[in-house]
Each structure stands twice: as C-alpha cells, then as structure tokens.
Amino acid sequence: MLRTGIVIDTRYQDHYTGRNHPERPGRIGALLSLVENYQRPGTKRFDPRLATPEEIALIHDPAHIGRVAATAEKDYFAFDADTPVSNQSYATALLATGGLLTVLEAIMTREVDNGFALVRPPGHHAERNRAMGFCLFNSAAIGAQFLREQFGLKRILVMDWDLHHGNGTQHSFYDDPGVLYVSTHQYPYYPGTGAAEEVGRGQGEGQTVNLPIPAGWGDTEYQELFQGVIEPVCRQFNPEFVLISAGFDAHTRDPLGGLEVTEEGFGIMARILLRVARDHAQGRCAAILEGGYDLDGLQKSVVHVLDEMGGETLTQALPQIEPRGLLPRVKAVQRQYWELPKE
Ligand SMILES: [Zn+2]
C-alpha cells in the first residue's frame, strides 16, 4: 500500500469570484466534505504553507506578482472577463501554490509516496506576466521548477489532463528539455493554443506533446491515447517526478466542456501515470487540482484518483478496448521525436 498526502484547507474558499462564476468556493467545500469522509488507510492530511514571492518568481515576472499582490488592497478587480479577484485572492493564490509545494516536500522527504493538492485558484493558464482563465499563479509550473532548484531533479513530467490547454505551463518550458509537457485538451477551444504542431523549440523541441481532442470523446478514446502515445512517450522521457495538472472539466457532466470522460476514466489515466512513476520516478507523483465545475463529477473523480494513488489497483489490468487508430496526424508529428507502437 502506498502513502498519499492530501492538502486541502478551508482558506481555499476565500478567493471570491462573484456570483455565478463556475470557479467558485463551493468546489473546495465539496472536496472538504469528501476528504473528511475519505477513509483509506495510508492517507495523511497536511496543512498548506504559503509560497514565498521568491518561489512564485521561479516562473513569474516580479511585475506580474506585484499586480496580483496589489489586488489585496481592492474590494474587486478583474484581470479579464473570466478572471475576477477579491481582496483575499492574492493570499489564496500563494496558499494554492504553497499547497502543492507542501505535497512536493512531503514526497521528496519520503513522508508520503505520492499526493494530491486540492487547491484553488487553478494555475495552468497563468503566463509569466499575465493572469488569465481563472488562473493567477501557475502552481504546476512553479512546482516543476521548484523540484529542479530545491531538490536537483533533472527530468520532470507535467501531464495536464484538464479540459483546456495549459498555455501557461507550455510556455514556461517551451525551450527547456528538462520538463516534458503533455496535454490532452478539447480543441479547438479556449485558450486557442495546443495544436499538435506545437512541439517546443530549440533545446526543448519534441518535449511539448499536444493531443488536441474533438468534442464527444470519452474514456475509451482517452485510454487508447494514453496507451498508444502518452505512456510510451513518458517512459522514453524517463521522468524523475510525475506531476499531474488534474482538472476534471473533461468529465461528462461538466458544464464547461464537451468531453465525456467518467470518474472511472480519470482513474485509468491516473493508474497509467502512477505506473510510469513507479517504474521511472521511485513512485514520486503529485497531482494538483485545476478545473472541474460539476461538483458531483469532481468529487467522484478525485476519489478515483486517490484510490489509484493507494497503489492496490496498480497491477490490475486495464479495460479491454478496441484501438481505432485515433489522431494519426498527432502520431506522425510525435514519431519525429519518440518511438510509438505500430498499429
Ligand atoms: Zn479547464
């Protein structure tokens, strides 16, 4: 049995986005009640620490950090139409990134084997110098950089299965061979980036892997792509740590997306990534919550991922699927850089 660290905190509800915003405090409320009732032995709850401004600056410009910090003096501010903030948003964003760093420290010091930071606001759209798409600071990107600077790791995998493309994370490491960024995302869709041909540049060419997915696809299509493209690419990269930007807005009941992944599907994706972590990264795997706006779908999906993190299902066979040869253009692009199984 594996030990799993969980970070969640009532203070993640303090970032107020206004009435009717999908990225709302109640998401954390739903997950707090889930965690209080989640009984699997081997789980350990951690209180998050605040990230320091220096840690935020691992990815973001000081001017951007200053602009977000300045919103603490305002009753209300909006970075764009999607990204309103309140006077507690800066502190909550520091706690969100700090929540992931808390999980990473617990894994690296072997207090736990893996972990899940259940935090908000999300982060993967945040660019070096810009808040956007509900995101203020890019916690996953900061976490990847933190693992390299603080613990000397050389190869970090960031798998982003949120419905949306993680433009901010992609751009943070676009010419950097030390981070493999892999994203599945509905396409074309917000934020517009994430075409198959976006593969990185310079030293990082080939280390960005985009799988743009049409509306309507679900568990079997995802499993085929994970087994046929994502798993072989990740194993060849040989990561020392597996970070998951875990959004659940690809869930079939999510109000923002057009994809049809179920909670069981997210569990299968987690199992495949946990196997990669087991075989290449000493089991080290951390997930951070990104999107996911149907509260019931969010809760059930998080339970499936936490169950997989317990390790007892790792050796169970995956569901039998009939491969359909999906995304041949993506595979043709990726074959320039990686060995993929023949079809
Ligand atoms: Zn999303």
How remote is the CA of residue 1 from the centroid of ligand 1, in Å?
A: 31
How remote is the CA of residue 163 from the centroid of ligand 1, in Å?
A: 5
How remote is the CA of residue 44 from the centroid of ligand 1, in Å?
A: 27
Q: What is the pLDDT of residues 134-159, one digit of tens each?
A: 999 999 999 999 999 999 999 999 99
Q: What is the pLDDT of residues 9-54, one digit of tens each?
A: 999 999 999 999 999 999 999 999 999 999 999 999 999 999 999 9
CA–CA separation, 181 vs 120, rounded Å?
Answer: 21
What are the residues facing 7 on neighbouring strands? 46, 117
Q: How far is CA 173 from CA 110, 270, 311, in A?
A: 27, 23, 30
How remote is the CA of residue 215 from the centroid of ligand 1, in Å?
A: 14
Going by their DSSP bridges, the two strands 84-85 and 77-78 should be labelled as antiparallel
Residue with tokens 């290449």: 280
Q: Is the distance from CB of 293 to CB of 249 less than 8 angstroms?
A: yes
Query: Which residue type does 52 have?
Result: T
CA dihedral sign, ordered 311, 314, 320, 321: positive
State the pLDDT at residue 107.
99
Q: What is the DSSP letter of 157?
A: E
The pLDDT profile of the chain, 343 residues, written as one tens digit per residue, is: 999 999 999 999 999 999 999 999 999 999 999 999 999 999 999 999 999 999 999 999 999 999 999 999 999 999 999 999 999 999 999 999 999 999 999 999 999 999 999 999 999 999 999 999 999 999 999 999 999 999 999 999 999 999 999 999 999 999 999 999 999 999 999 999 999 999 999 999 999 999 999 999 999 999 999 999 999 999 999 999 999 999 999 999 999 999 999 999 999 999 999 999 999 999 999 999 999 999 999 999 999 999 999 999 999 999 999 999 999 999 999 999 999 998 8
How remote is the CA of residue 246 from the centroid of ligand 1, in Å?
A: 9
Question: Is there a catalytic annotation at residue 125?
Answer: yes
Q: Is the distance from CB of 129 to CB of 61 less than 8 angstroms?
A: yes
**Peptide bond between residue 121 and the one before it cis (omega within 30 degrees of 0):** yes
How remote is the CA of residue 123 from the centroid of ligand 1, in Å?
A: 10
Active-site choice (15, 64, 124, 125): 125
How remote is the CA of residue 263 from the centroid of ligand 1, in Å?
A: 16
How remote is the CA of residue 298 from the centroid of ligand 1, in Å?
A: 12
Of 238, 239, 240, 236, residue with least CA distance to 338: 236
Describe the crossing of helices 295-309 and 26-37 by its angle, rounded to 10 degrees. Answer: 40
pTM equals: 0.98
Residue with tokens 């069981």: 264
How remote is the CA of residue 32 from the centroid of ligand 1, in Å?
A: 20
CA–CA separation, 167 vs 192, rounded Å?
Answer: 9
State the pLDDT at residue 343.
80
The first and second tokens of residue 114, run together, are: 């893996």
Protein residues near ligand 1, an ion, with CB under 5 A: 162-164, 247, 249, 291
Q: Is the distance from CB of 207 to CB of 177 less than 8 angstroms?
A: yes
How remote is the CA of residue 291 from the centroid of ligand 1, in Å?
A: 4
